Amino acid sequence: MKINELIESHSELTDTAASKSAVVLMTRIRLARNLAAQPFPGWAKDAQKREIRDQCMQAVAALPQMKRGLAIPVESLNELQKQILVERHLISRELCHAKSGSGIVISKDQSCVVMVNEEDHLRIQVLRAGFQFKKVWAAINQLDTDLEEHMDYAFSPKLGYLSACPTNLGTGIRASAMMHLPALVISSQMEKVVRAVNQLGMAVRGLFGEGSDASGSIFQISNQTTLGESEEGIIKHLHGVLTTIVDQELNAREKLLETDPNKLFDKIGRAFGILQNGYLLNSGEAMNLLSLIRLGIDLGIFADAQRAVVDRLFIECQPGHVQHAAKGAFEPTQRDVLRAGRLRAEFAKVTAPDFSNAAK
Amino acid sequence: MANPLKCDLCAKPATVHLTQIVNSKIHKVDLCEACAQAKGVTDPSGFSLADLLLKASLNPEPAGDTKCESCGFTAQDFKKTGRFGCPACYGHFSGLLEPMLDTMHKGSAHTGKIPQRALARKSLYERLTQLETELDQAIKAERYEDAARYRDEISQVRSTTGRKAGAKHED
């Protein structure tokens, strides 16, 4: 598979039928793995790094899960292609900035990705739309075990899988869920939630990970510690916390409907108006408007079928996707015109909100 | 006093002795008055022994010029980047790492997944290498009965590992 084919083809996140899940948009697990007796990518010489990359990419691409997928060195991708992969949550921003000797292997359905020579030799990742920790863990555990057949991992019986950064030591696991929490944001409870989650040893980040903002009321919540607890234990613990947050969000929605439905309906209605008629929309504003529409769908104000459309637009209104759709490089202001145009066209097809359906 | 305690930071006689329990672990420090002042030990609300210990252990002086023998990574490099150079660094810098693990993680020992297949492969490979050395020695010493036994064992190990391990070893 070629990179352009991959970008054009359906992906787990942009075209999933399973997008019936309110609140949890996506489940993702990654494992950090390194080869025994080889310097970590940040310390390896260029030639060593390339050798490690070739060895890893060959082994990964040969896995049955990666059949007819894409395996490509990072330096043969252009900036826009890299940006699109970041926007689909397939690769990290760090990997984009990697000078040379890094690579990517992506499965055909874009649910499994292995980054080679990012911070670690191997960053194995599986993602699925919805709240699916069991499935995702089963898939990634299998992928990891299959890979282990062909590679000797750096492993210590006492410290577990050895990673470049000691914060990933042990299991090397980071399990995360992308959550849509508009009611907690509207009712100003998010700060409290973030504090509580942090106290439980978990991290809250914005849509695109570390340092990104929480536009669209979308947050990524993940475990922070990796040593001293089994993978299943870590996932179970995180799952429990996430379930509580889902309940909190649903409670906050009910409360908003009870105390001031007019204000909430007004926000949703205005969002629909702007999406149907706006002419300049930056990605932050577009995300926030789409977030309100998604909340409207969850409340029954719009048809259920629209949820998959909104979830796709969350990704397709990002700068890389907007430029790709318009086939060129565009300045931010031009992108705002293009984005608004795309959203106008999408929302011209959407039936007007029916507020009487809410809270039933 | 026969053996007055020295300050952990500057080696002057220590006059401040502090014990703190963090995460059910006891940490002790002995400091001279000047260092105690400087580190804010006298202000009980704003002082964390863990931070102090962490900084003291990250200090390049006690760690000295330790260098990972496998990859040449130094303690200073770790201080600068927060990353290690290679898997062997974990052994070389264990003194630096261990005090950090408690604050960083839930525990300091791995209880998760083990790469069973890779480890089994490794232990068989090691067994094979060991047997071959013993076989060589037995032949040299003209202990032919032992040599025959080693040879049988080697072929047995090879047949269990299949072709993969055999190919890896010069066959």
- The secondary structure of residue B83, as a DSSP letter, is -
Which residues in chain A touch residue B116, judged by CB atoms under 8 angstroms apart?
A: 148
Which residues in chain B touch residue A162, judged by CB atoms under 8 angstroms apart?
A: 84, 87, 90
Give the span between the Cα atoms of B5 and B13, in whole angstroms: 6
Q: Least CA distance to B108: which residue of chain A?
A: A228
Which residues in chain B touch residue A34, judged by CB atoms under 8 angstroms apart?
A: 87
> pLDDT tens across A259-313, in order?
999 999 999 999 999 999 999 999 999 999 999 999 999 999 999 889 888 989 9
**Could you tell me how many helices (H) and strands (E) chain A has, helices first?**
13, 10
Query: In whole angstroms, what separates CA B33 from the centre of its chain?
Result: 34
| Cβ pair A159:B110 closer than 8 A | yes
Longest dimension (CA), chain B: 76
Give the span between the Cα atoms of A25 and A131, in whole angstroms: 7
> pLDDT tens across B120-170, in order?
877 777 888 888 888 999 999 989 988 998 888 888 877 766 544 333 333
Q: List the Cα angle A83/A88/A89 in 5-degree steps.
A: 95
Look at residue B61 and tell me whether its pLDDT is greater than 80: no
| Torsion of the alpha carbons at A205, B97, B113 and A164, rounded to the nearest 10 | 60
Which residues in chain B touch residue A170, judged by CB atoms under 8 angstroms apart?
A: 105, 110, 112
Look at residue A237 and tell me whether its pLDDT is greater than 90: yes
How distant is the Cα of B3 from the closest Cα of chain A, in angstroms? 37
pLDDT at position B163 is: 43
DSSP per position, B28-46: EEEE-HHHHHHTTTTSGGG
More confident residue, A205 or B170: A205
Give the span between the Cα atoms of A156 and B120, in whole angstroms: 14
List the structure tokens of B1.
């006093």
| Cβ pair A165:B118 closer than 8 A | no
Query: In whole angstroms, what separates CA A283 from the centre of its chain?
Result: 16
Give yes or no for A57 touching B (CB within 8 A): no
| Cβ pair B107:A231 closer than 8 A | no
A contact test, residue of B83, B121, B168 with most A CBs within 10 A: B83
Question: Nearest by CB to B85, which of A43, A145, A233?
Answer: A43
How distant is the Cα of B91 from the closest Cα of chain A, in angstroms? 10
Q: How many CB pairs under 8 A join A and B?
A: 118
How distant is the Cα of B2 from the closest Cα of chain A, in angstroms? 40
Look at residue A4 and tell me whether its pLDDT is greater than 70: yes
Give yes or no for B164 touching A (CB within 8 A): no
How distant is the Cα of B109 from the closest Cα of chain A, in angstroms? 5
Give yes or no for B67 touching A (CB within 8 A): no
Confidence of residue B20 (pLDDT cuts 50, 70, 90): low
Give yes or no for A34 touching B (CB within 8 A): yes
Per-residue pLDDT, averaged over A331-347, amounts to 95
Confidence of residue B1 (pLDDT cuts 50, 70, 90): very low
CB atoms within 10 A of CB A2: 9
Q: Least CA distance to A151: which residue of chain B?
A: B118
Q: Least CA distance to B78: which residue of chain A?
A: A165
Share in percent of chain A as helix, strand, coil (round to 5)? 50, 15, 35
Residues A193, A195, A196, A202: is their CA dihedral positive or negative? positive
How distant is the Cα of B131 from the closest Cα of chain A, in angstroms? 22
How distant is the Cα of A12 from the closest Cα of chain B, in angstroms? 27
How distant is the Cα of A37 from the closest Cα of chain B, in angstroms? 6
Give yes or no for B107 touching A (CB within 8 A): yes
Residue A293 and residue A268 in contact, taking contact as beta carbons nearer than 8 Å = yes
DSSP per position, A254-291: HHHHHH-HHHHHHHHHHHHHHHHH-S---HHHHHHHHH
Q: How far is CA A32 from CA A128, A175, A226, B92, in A?
A: 19, 12, 10, 21
Residue type, A254: E
Confidence of residue A182 (pLDDT cuts 50, 70, 90): very high
The whole-chain average pLDDT of chain A stands at 92
CB interface of A with B, residues 75-104, below 8 Å: none
- The secondary structure of residue B14, as a DSSP letter, is P
Q: Collect all residues with Cβ–Cβ distance below 8 Å to A199 and sequence separation of at least 6.
A: none
Q: Least CA distance to B106: which residue of chain A?
A: A228
Per-residue pLDDT, averaged over B43-62, amounts to 51
The whole-chain average pLDDT of chain B stands at 76
List the structure tokens of A77.
């991708």
Which residues in chain A touch residue B109, judged by CB atoms under 8 angstroms apart?
A: 158-159, 227-228
Q: Least CA distance to A166: which residue of chain B?
A: B83
B contact test, residue of A155, A232, A234 with most B CBs within 10 A: A155
Residue type, A10: H
Say which range, A141-145, B96-100, B125-129, has the weakest mean pLDDT. B125-129
